[in-house]
Structure 1
């Protein structure tokens, strides 16, 4: 393993403990990097899966706690609300203390506080800890992407980032699939016993395999080690002053964590209020994710009521969306070659608007999938038809997210963390809200009318990547936030 000493001093002893903090994460062996990526990706998958596992456990919750179905649906909405709020708080803490402590503490709490969910004596305790576990687990949907970029250079990060981003989308699809089998044969509490077991395994893997990868923290520790050897005592504020000042959040870290958290909450809101391009792209991706979470309430209507499926068969109905997501991820090598071609044509630079090409494909696939799904939900239509129809939606959803994710990061590079926090908060908020009105909307409009309405909304927003591909450079020049 290559080791790089950041500061040399004649009094410095070159032992293992001293140089450990001087390791460049990008110099780790490839197998070690991928072990880290797989660990944080499966941890992310676990959290995302936990968000939707309760979808087919709601009947058991309603019966045991004697509450209406509209109350038990809150188990998804409150977890998603925790995912929305968490990045605004956890993001700044990771910039101040590093990624590894945040991973260990947040996932440790996610594991520990999943016990009150599984053994809840009443609906109040159950729902309260669903929200808290969502908040704790959000670190792996907000911070983990940074670890992937720490490990790989810009030219090699595309494939591992695509592997990681599959987790937040495959997880919600995997949740009802597993939940269907569990709740068909076991008590609903086994749904959450699974979360406890899975999160415990992931916590051990995090502790054993995921080191600190954040360069400012590694540099600060290396500097402290060098100066300690020289007899110099450093305070935390002096250590922080040696960190990179490449973001507004890092500048504020010197003045304290509370100031950093305030900026983390304020800057995303300011971006959404004063930058129409960021607002519209966030709205587009959030609507798509909201529809995914709405499906957790809709699929039982389509398959259980319309086709007589049991719980485990209804869970298998989500395979169409899952297959679409996997197919979308598998196209990443093509997009890598496309970006390399664009880079060669532009002197080694990939314009942000080139990242919207994949979004143009997604903008077409999502409404096509939803319109196809809408007109195959009749009970007289074979049950395989709506499953196949959902494949374009799954692939399009991945394309939409991949496009907005990369475009926002490259366009708003000076405040990239805030741009992603705004996107993540809005997506999770839509996920929380859409779950609440799904049943009433489908009862009023029917499966065809309600699904066609959603398809129409995605059709209205589908031109966004095409429009911004043309006027994006002008909007970026006018923006107070864009690079």
Structure 2
């Protein structure tokens, strides 16, 4: 189930610009809002059907059900200090002191920068070099969209078949399909793609 959730989570920020570009080029800008509203409605329905999993809330419900006294609430200052520590101080401390967090953050920053650079470069290349009409440049994003769907499907398949057993003993194996491949041809795919577009 983790693979399906991560596949959808990683697909969303990349599929968004592809879908938006197609909608803006082929329809009016209003459709970007309509599609966002459709996704929001589906998400709200799914969230409403989920069971609560947050430990403090579950403990409060259990205490109320058994007639036990509820734990005292933190003063506002302490609660704010805890929120700042959990959301700002601890992530920055992990980024500065944990090599794996730093390495994956740099890797993800590179991937996002290159991909979103593609979203700006592709319309320019196809309109200025190949003479595409601005209304047709949205079609050039279909390749990225299809590639995203294929990549997410392959990741979900690998997660279901190979990694579910391996993860019991070696959870770091989940990183292999993303950035820790052992084969050199996977590492070369990004510069080959960049060279191909530039050529």
State the TM-score, normalizing by the size of structure 2: 0.77
Distance in 2, matches of 1:205 and 1:188, equals: 27
Is the CA contact 2:60–2:70 (under 8 Å) kept in the aligned structure 1?
A: no
What is aligned with 2:194?
374
What is aligned with 1:173?
14
1:3-402 → structure 2 map (5 Å cutoff): 160-207=1-48, 209-227=49-67, 234=70, 236-237=72-73, 256-264=78-86, 265-307=88-130, 308=132, 310-318=136-144, 319-332=146-159, 333-339=161-167, 343=169, 350=170, 354-355=173-174, 357-358=176-177, 359-361=179-181, 364=184, 367-377=187-197
Is the CA contact 1:273–1:279 (under 8 Å) kept in the aligned structure 2?
A: yes
Quote the offset at 1:366 in angstroms.
5.5
Q: Residues 320 and 257 (structure 1 numbering): CA distance in 2 closer, same or farther, change over 3 Å?
A: same
Distance in 1, matches of 2:111 and 2:186, equals: 8
RMSD: 3.1
Distance in 1, matches of 2:150 and 2:104, equals: 25
Q: Deviations over 1:415-449 (max 9, x none)?
A: xxxxxxxxxxxxxxxxxxxxxxxxxxxxxxxx35x
Q: Deviations over 1:345-366 (max 9, x none)?
A: xxxxx3x655554443288465
Quote the offset at 1:163 in angstroms.
0.4
What is aligned with 1:25?
none
Q: Deviations over 1:80-122 (max 9, x none)?
A: xxxxxxxxxxxxxxxxxxxxxxxxxxxxxxxxxxxxxxxxxxx
- For this pair of structures, how many residues does the alignment match? 192
Distance in 2, matches of 1:356 and 1:178, equals: 27
Which structure 2 segments of 5+ residues have no match? none
State the TM-score, normalizing by the size of structure 1: 0.35
Name the structure, 1 or 2, with higher relative contact order (CA <8 Å, separation 6+). Answer: 2
Which structure 1 segments of 5+ residues have no match? 1-159, 241-252, 344-349, 378-446, 449-483
Is the CA contact 2:18–2:142 (under 8 Å) kept in the aligned structure 1?
A: yes
Is the CA contact 1:184–1:312 (under 8 Å) kept in the aligned structure 2?
A: yes
What is aligned with 1:53?
none
Distance in 2, matches of 1:304 and 1:236, equals: 63
